[in-house]
Chain A
Amino acid sequence: MRHLLDFRGWARTEVESLLDTARVMAEVLERPVKKVPALQGFTVATVFFEPSTRTRLSFELAARRMSADVVSFAAQTSSLQKGESYKDTLLTLEAMGVDAYVIRADAAGVPHQAARWVKGVVVNGGDGRRAHPTQALLDAYTLLEALGSLEGKKIAIVGDLLHSRVARSNVELLPLLGAEVWGAGPPTLLPQGLPGARLTSRLEEALAEADAVMVLRLQKERMEAGLIHLQDYIAHYQVTEARLKKAKPGAPLLHPGPMNRDVELEGTLADSARSLVNRQVHNGVAVRMAVLYHLLVGRER
């Protein structure tokens, strides 16, 4: 792969190879010295045109764990405020010798555009509602850790699918590994179509015999637009202990964060043994190390 923008055109073997590398990186993170020299000499820039905590920190840690130099760009404290364009910002970084750009943007397509502007590699760190491929990779990694294999496994993705780039990337990725993906949410928060997933507004249908449940953040800021009433959502779509009885016993729970406790997910469940939320964050570093390794090592400089 030249860049990681989304999973269009990806083969199962490519995903598996990347996840195999992530397993090796996970072992590196267990060592007394959690650092290898693999990316010595490379410079990685995290270019976040939209705020983020975990994705940016996770990428920066991943790059540092492999001895890359890291520069961090945040829109709020940059010349963007003086009217500099995204393109000029990226070309400035390129002139400073950056090799890889991890780009987060609130508008869909910015990383794709960036890949045309810069010579280095581009990793999509989340763009608009479109894609968040490294989140999907760490979700897949965490699911594989919990379930062993995704072949024929039913994964239910619950909540605001309409606005979720995480859901879109998971719907592209998980079927590549053999999973059957269901999406459930209120009709106003379901997209018109989502190839790769079976959509339903009946939560019980998606949860029935599910091997794992991925709960999405309910984007409260959008509730004012009248897409749904918060209390109605909680009443019908909150993932609760009682509703989870429809899923397979002990089915693990995932959430990409940040989490609205007692809104999309019952607070006690978030802290329960079946919650893999912290595991997802933990695995994120190893998965992003694997992504940077696959993109940077061996490319022409």
Chain B
Amino acid sequence: MRFKAELLNAEEMRRALHRIAHEIVEAGKGVEGLALVGIHTRGIPLAERLARYIREFEGKEVPVGLLDITLYRDDLSEIGLRPQVRQTRIPFEITDKAVVLVDDVLYTGRTARAALDALMDLGRPRRIYLAVLIDRGHRELPIRADFVGKNVPTARSEVVKVKLQEVDGEDRVELWEREAL
């Protein structure tokens, strides 16, 4: 793969997440009944950061859960691989809560759809929002994000790499070109 551009640096990422955190509080008219659920892998640290920012400026804790959508993928019975299944841990009641699903990249929308199905099996939220750091387009399902860090028009041949301190040791979003075979 060939490196093409830096989409966000650490400071820009921090600002984008700060803005999303404010927007979430604004949309929910406060943090009462609000919960964040991060989608494995990078959605989890992002959800934790959003919860931290909200605590910093609202002085209130928002519960954070983690969700693995592997068992809900719509291509599990067709693809030639067996994805590792990871823990889902949502240690709070989601029924009647406003739940914000958090992921790093929104692309085809299939992960978000699987996450919606998984969440519905865990309870009946009052409302579900979707927050993503990057929306790169190319939706295959009628899904859109409520909170977006940055919209990036991309080609299908391009790859968006989100690097997070907690997982990758640095905060940075990069655009790469998949080289033709």
Contact = CB atoms under 8 A, between A and B. Distances in A.
A27 B80 contact: no
A35 B121 contact: yes
A31 B84 CA distance: 20
Contact of A31 (B68, B80, B85, B121): B121
A17 B86 CA distance: 11
B79 interface: yes
Given A38-B76, A293-B82, A297-B77, A23 B122 contact: no
A39 B84 CA distance: 15
Contact of A42 (B68, B77, B79, B123): B77
A interface, size bucket: 20 to 34
Contacts of A298: 79-83
Contacts of A42: 77
Nearest to A300: B80
B117 interface: yes
Interface string B51-92: 000000000000000001011110011111111111111000
A36 B88 contact: no
A37 interface: yes
Contacts of B86: 24
Give the most central of B72, B73, B82, B123: most A CB within 10 Å. B82
A28 B79 CA distance: 22
A297 B74 CA distance: 12
Contacts of B81: 298
**Secondary structure dominating the interface of B:** loop
A24 B88 contact: yes
Contacts of B79: 298
B122 A66 contact: no
Contacts of A36: 71-72, 118, 121
Nearest to A17: B84
Interface string A275-301: 000000000000000000110111011
Contacts of A300: 80
A133 B117 CA distance: 33
Most chain B CB within 10 A, of A17, A37, A40, A41, is at: A37
B82 A297 contact: yes
A24 B85 contact: yes
- Among A23, A25, A36, chain B packs the most CB atoms within 10 A around the CB of A36
Give the interface centre of A35, A294, A298 by most chain B CB atoms within 10 Å: A298
A31 B122 contact: yes
A21 interface: yes
A42 B76 CA distance: 11
A17 B117 CA distance: 25
Nearest to B123: A32
Contacts of B118: 36
Contacts of A32: 121-123
Contacts of B83: 297-298
B88 A38 contact: no
A39 B85 CA distance: 13
A33 interface: yes
Nearest to B120: A33
B88 A27 contact: yes
17 contacts: A21-B85, A24-B85, A24-B88, A33-B121, A36-B71, A36-B118, A36-B121, A40-B76, A41-B77, A42-B77, A66-B71, A293-B82, A293-B85, A297-B76, A297-B77, A298-B83, A301-B77
Interface of B: 68, 70-73, 76-89, 117-118, 121-123
Given A24-B87, A33-B121, A37-B76, 17 more contacts: A17-B84, A20-B84, A21-B84, A24-B71, A27-B89, A31-B121, A31-B122, A32-B123, A35-B121, A37-B71, A37-B72, A38-B72, A38-B76, A39-B76, A42-B77, A66-B71, A296-B77
Closest 6 CB pairs of A and B: A298-B82, A36-B71, A33-B121, A38-B71, A41-B77, A24-B85
